[in-house]
A and B are shown apart, each in its own frame.
Chain A
Amino acid sequence: MTTTTTGAPVETDLLRFTTAGSVDDGKSTLIGRLLHDTKSIFEDQLEHIEGASRLRGEEGVNLALLTDGLKAEREQKITIDVAYRYFATPKRKFIIADTPGHVQYTRNMVTGASTADLAVILVDARKGVLTQSKRHAFITSLLGIPHIIVAVNKMDLVDYSEARFEEIRAEFREFSSKLTVKDISFVPISALHGDNVVSWSDRMPWYEGGSFLHKLETVNVGSRRNYIDFRFPVQYVIRPNQDFRGYAGTVASGSISPGEEILVLPSGHGTRVKSVEGLDGTLEEAVAGDAVTLTTEEELDISRGDMIVRRKNVPTVNDRFEAYLCWMNEEPLDPERSYVLFHTTRQVQAFVDRIEYRVDVDTLHREQAETLGLNEIGRVELTTANPIFFDSYRVNLATGNFVLVDPHTNVTVAAGMIRGEVRRLEALEDAQDAIDRPVSPAVVWQGWNVPRVERESRNGHRATVVWFTGMSGAGKTTIAREVERRLFERGVSTMLLEGDQVRHGLCGDLGFAAGDRTENIRRVGEVAKLFFEHGNVVLCTFVSPYQRDRLAVRSLLPEGRFVEVHVHAPLEELRRRDPKELYLKEERGEIDALPGSKAPYEVPAAPDLTLNTAVASVDDSVELVLARLERDGIIPKPPD
C-alpha cells in the first residue's frame, strides 16, 4: 500500500459523522482541536486565527474561529447552518457535518444526520444532560444513526472528576434507553486543553477507554447500508447508438451480478441482467454504493424513476404510506396543498393526509396537531399521485427516505422517513371499539388445546375465511354452495355459514336495523373464527353492508386468512332476478329497506376478489374463487 509522508495510505475508508452541541458546549473548540492536533490546519489558517484572536482581545489562539464560516454568524457569534469539515489520519478520512445545537435548528441537525454513520453529542460537564442533549439523541435515533459518542467536555472545570462523569453517563443512559441507538459510548475530554481528544490524558487516570479520536478511528463504518435487498433506482438512460442501451444509477442496496433475474417497477416486466458496467469496465458484481450501468437481456422500456429489483425480492409498491416528517420551513405544513415528493430518482405529487401526532422532541411526548411548523417532527400519512417503491427506513435507509418540495417556491420544506404502509389501524380500532369483544369476568383462557397448525398439517390444506358480501340476489349463496361442493370433493374440510341459516338460531333475536346488523355480523365473525381454528375453509355469505363490520371480522383473523369476495350485479338486474321477492316486498313496504336499494350498502374499498354476476356465469365465478385459494396457498392445486 502506498503511503504519503503524513502516513495516510490511499486505501483508507471514509467515516462521516455529525457533531451536535451548542456553542457553549465547546463544539467549535473540539473540532478546532481535532483539526489542529491531527495537523489538518494549515499555517496560513493558523496565522489568520491568531490574528483574529488578538483582534478580539483573546488570550492564546481561539480554535473555535477555525470553523465558523459565514459573516452573519461571526457577527451573531453562532453557527446557523451545516458546515462540512475534512481531516484525515493514517487510518481514515473523516467528513464532519458540523451542526449547530441551538434551540431553533433541529432542521440542520436532521440535515447533518442524514448522511452520518456516527453522531457526536457534546455535554458540558458542569451542566450535565440538558434538554438539548436529549433532543440531539432523539434525532440521532430517529435518523437511524447506529453509533453515538457522548463527549463530556470541560472536564477541566470539574476538576477532572470521575464521579461527575459517571453521574452524567448514568443520566444519559437512562434517557437513551427509550431510543433505538445500538451503540453509545462516553469519553471525558477537555477540548480546550486537548485531554483525551487525540491522545489519552494522564489527568484522568481513572478513565480506561480510548481517546475521542481513537473511537472515531475504530468504529465500524458502512453499517447503515443494506447489503441484502437489491434496489436500483434508474437515474439516467445511456443510449449512444443502436447497439447499446444502458441504465445508469447507483446501487441503493443489495448486490447484483450478470445473469440474475430482475423485475422492473412499475411495469412489472421481467428479464435478466446482461452486464454490469462499472466506471472502469465490466464487473462481476456491483454492491450498495457502486455507480454502475446495467444492460438487460431483453430490451424493455425503462426510464428514469423506474426501479430495478430482484424478481424474488420486491419493495412495497403503494401510493399511501406512513412516515416521520421533520418540517424545515417557516411556512407550516398545509394539508390542503400538494407538494412534490423526491424519493430515490422519482418525483411525484403528494399530499399529507393526516397528522397522527406531533412529537415533543424534548419530552418525547406525543401530542395532537393540526399542522407541523418549522423544526417540528410528527408522524403522518401521505398519499402520492403515483405509487412509489419503498422499504421502511429502518430496514433500508436508501429507499426509505424522501423530501418534500414546495412546488411554488421550489424550496425543500420537509424531510421524511418512511415507516411502512398505512395499516388502516384507525378503521380497525373503530371497529374494535364498536364491537368490543366482551370478556366474561373471571374467565381465563389458556389457548387452543390442539393448535390450528397441527390440524392444517393433518388436513393437507390451510384454514381461511372466505367472506362473500353483496346485495340480496347477487348470487353469494349460489356461488358459495358450489364452491363448498367442489372443495368437499377435493377432500377439503369446509363449513358454510349463510345469512338465512344463522337467523334461524344463533341470531334469531336480531332484526335488520343498523345496530342489529352489526351484532349479527359480530356473532357470525366469532363463529367463523371457531370453525377457522378448527382448520376449515369457512365460507360465509352475508349482505354485510358496512365496511367496518367486515373489517372487524378481518381483524379477528391472521393476516392473509380473510378473503373478501364482492359479489356484484347492477340493481336493475337484481330487481329483475329477485328470487326471494325481497325487492318486491320492499317496494310494497312489507319489509325494512334493503341495503343497496333504499338502505346504504358500502361497496368494499379493496376486495380480494370481485365477481360480476351480470357477466360471469356461476361456473366461472366458482373457478375464480378456487383459483384465488390455490394462488394464496390455502388449498393445493389439483394434479393435472
Chain B
Amino acid sequence: MTRRIKGHLQALENEAVYVFREVAAQFERPVLLFSGGKDSIVMTWLAQKAFRPGAVPLPLLHIDTGHNFPETIEFRDRFVEDMGCRLLVRSVQDSIDRGRVQEETGPDASRNALQTVTLLDALKELKVDAALGGARRDEEKARAKERFFSHRDRFGQWDPKNQRPELWRLYNGRKAPGEHFRIFPLSNWTELDVWQYIRLEEIPIPHLYFSHEREVVRRNGVLLANSDFIELMDDERPELRRVRFRTIGDATCTGAVESEANSVEAVILETGAARVTERGGRSDDKRSEAAMEERKREGYF
C-alpha cells in the first residue's frame, strides 16, 4: 500500500490526526464545529481517518445563522451522512426568538456577531468541554499565536496573556468545571495546504468554491452575493459576475472573488498566485484593525 500523500502534507496530516486522538482521549464531551466550509469538511475527513475502523467519537455541531446559501445545507446533510457522523444544529433564529440576542439592522446587518451567543449557549447546553475548529494560524495576525489547545474561561472568553505554553506535542487539556477548550488541529496548515490536500485526497466540497455566475453587489471593496438576506443601499446595483467563494460563512458577509477557476486544480493555481488573503474577502474583519482579536476575546471562533 503506497500512501497518496508525502512530504509536508503527510506531516500536517499526522499532526492533525494526533490532535484528534488526543482530544478523544482527554475530553469527555468534545464536538467538531461544522460550518459547511472547506476547512470543516477537511476536519471531518481527518476525524474519520483518525478513528477508522471505528466511528468518529464526537458529533458535529453546526451553528446555523439562517443566512445560508442553499447549496451549503444540501451539501452538509449529504456529506455528514457519507462520513457516518452525527450532526447537531443550533440556530441563531432560535436565539433571536428566545430574546437572547437582537437582530442587527441597517445595510451592513449581519448575524455573524450574534452566532457567538448561540454558540456559547449550545456549548453550555451540550456540556461541551472541547470544541474543535478548522481555524488556521495563517489566516489572520491574531491567530498566529493561537495554541492547538486554546483555553477558554467560564464565559467562553480567550485571554491572550493567559494561554498555556505548548511544548513538543504535549497538549494540556486540564481545566476547571465549566471551562472549555477550543482546539485547532489545522493550526499549521495554510490555505494552499488545504487545497492541495483536498485534491490529493479527492475530498468533495460544495460548488460555491468553484467559478459560477452570480448576482453580486460591490460594497467596501468586497463582492457580496445578492440575496434576500442583504439590504441594498440606494446606489447599489446588483450585477452578474463569474465568481467563486474562498470561504463559506454567513451569506451577508462572505465575499466572493471574480474567478474562472472551476476545478480544484484551477483553484490551487489561483491560490498559489493569489494576492489577497482568504479573510480579505470577509467584511467583518475590516471593521477595525484589531477586529479579529476583539471578537476572539468575546468567544468568536
Contacts and interface: CB of A to CB of B under 8 A. Distances in A.
A356 to B, nearest CB: 22
Contacts of A293: 52
A8 B172 contact: no
B287 interface: no
Contacts of A67: 144
A43 B13 contact: no
Nearest to B278: A42
A527 to B, nearest CB: 51
Contacts of B54: 238-240, 244
Nearest to A95: B188
Interface in B1-53: 1, 3-9, 11-14, 17-18, 21-22, 24-25, 49-53
B168 A410 contact: no
B174 interface: yes
B172 A412 contact: yes
Nearest to A44: B280
B8 A13 contact: yes
Interface string B122-148: 000000000000000110011011000
Contacts of A289: 11, 14
B164 A411 contact: yes
B190 interface: yes
B215 interface: no
Given A10-B200, A280-B4, A86 B137 contact: yes
Contacts of A345: 25
A599 interface: no
Interface in B164-197: 164-170, 172, 174-176, 187-188, 190, 192-193, 196
B161 interface: yes
B276 interface: yes
A71 interface: yes
Interface stretch (B95-103, B106-114, B266-274): B266-274
Interface in B32-87: 49-55
B7 A84 contact: no
Contact of B1 (A88, A244, A278): A278
Contacts of A363: none
B269 A5 contact: yes
Contact of A410 (B49, B50, B166, B174): B174
Interface stretch (A106-114, A148-156, A259-267, A560-568): A106-114
B163 interface: yes
A69 B160 CA distance: 11
B162 to A, nearest CB: 8
Contact of A235 (B1, B21, B170, B290): B21
A111 B14 contact: no
Contacts of A407: 174
A284 B2 CA distance: 10
Interface in B266-295: 268-269, 271-277, 280, 289-290, 293
Contacts of A108: 165
B256 to A, nearest CB: 15
Nearest to A42: B277
A240 B53 contact: yes
Contact of B145 (A43, A69, A93, A405): A69
Interface in A282-336: 282-284, 289-291, 293, 304, 328
Nearest to A46: B275
Given A12-B7, A43-B275, A107 B165 contact: yes
Contact of A84 (B187, B273, B276): B187
A237 to B, nearest CB: 9
A357 interface: no
Contacts of A157: none
Contacts of A86: 137-138, 188, 190
Contact of A70 (B24, B174, B193, B293): B293
A443 interface: no
A238 B196 contact: no
Q: For chain A, give the interface size range.
A: 35 or more
B272 A6 contact: yes
A228 B175 CA distance: 37
A182 interface: no
A283 B11 contact: no
Given A12-B8, A403-B170, A235 B142 contact: no
Nearest to B23: A236
From B170, B175, B200, B280, name the one whose CB has the most chain A CB atoms within 10 angstroms: B170
B3 A278 contact: yes
Interface string A233-251: 0011011100010101110
Contacts of B160: 70, 72, 81
A114 B168 contact: yes
A540 interface: no
B120 to A, nearest CB: 21
A86 B49 CA distance: 25
A85 B144 contact: yes
B14 A290 contact: yes
A111 B166 contact: yes
B37 to A, nearest CB: 19
A6 B273 contact: yes
Interface in A63-89: 67-72, 80-86, 88
Given A11-B7, A239-B54, A291 B18 contact: yes
B21 A115 contact: no
A401 B196 contact: no
A202 B13 CA distance: 42
Nearest to B11: A14
Contacts of B172: 342, 403, 405, 410, 412
Nearest to B190: A86
A224 B193 CA distance: 24
A205 interface: no
A138 interface: no
A71 B273 contact: no
A394 B14 CA distance: 24
Nearest to B17: A291
A84 B137 contact: yes
A45 interface: yes
Contacts of B290: 71
Contacts of B22: 235
B283 to A, nearest CB: 12
Contacts of A622: none
Contacts of A93: 8, 190, 193
A281 interface: yes
A69 B141 contact: yes
Contacts of B55: 240
Given A42-B280, A44-B280, A328 B17 contact: no
A277 B3 CA distance: 12
Given A84-B145, A236-B24, A410-B172, 5 more contacts: A10-B200, A72-B161, A107-B165, A250-B169, A304-B25
Interface of A: 4-6, 8, 10-14, 42-45, 52, 67-72, 80-86, 88, 92-93, 95, 98, 107-108, 110-111, 114-115, 235-236, 238-240, 244, 246, 248-250, 277-284, 289-291, 293, 304, 328, 340, 342-343, 345, 397-398, 401-403, 405, 407, 410-412, 415
Q: Which 6 A-B pairs have the closest CB atoms?
A: A4-B272, A14-B8, A410-B174, A240-B54, A43-B275, A44-B280
Interface of B: 1, 3-9, 11-14, 17-18, 21-22, 24-25, 49-55, 137-138, 141-142, 144-145, 160-161, 163-170, 172, 174-176, 187-188, 190, 192-193, 196, 200, 268-269, 271-277, 280, 289-290, 293
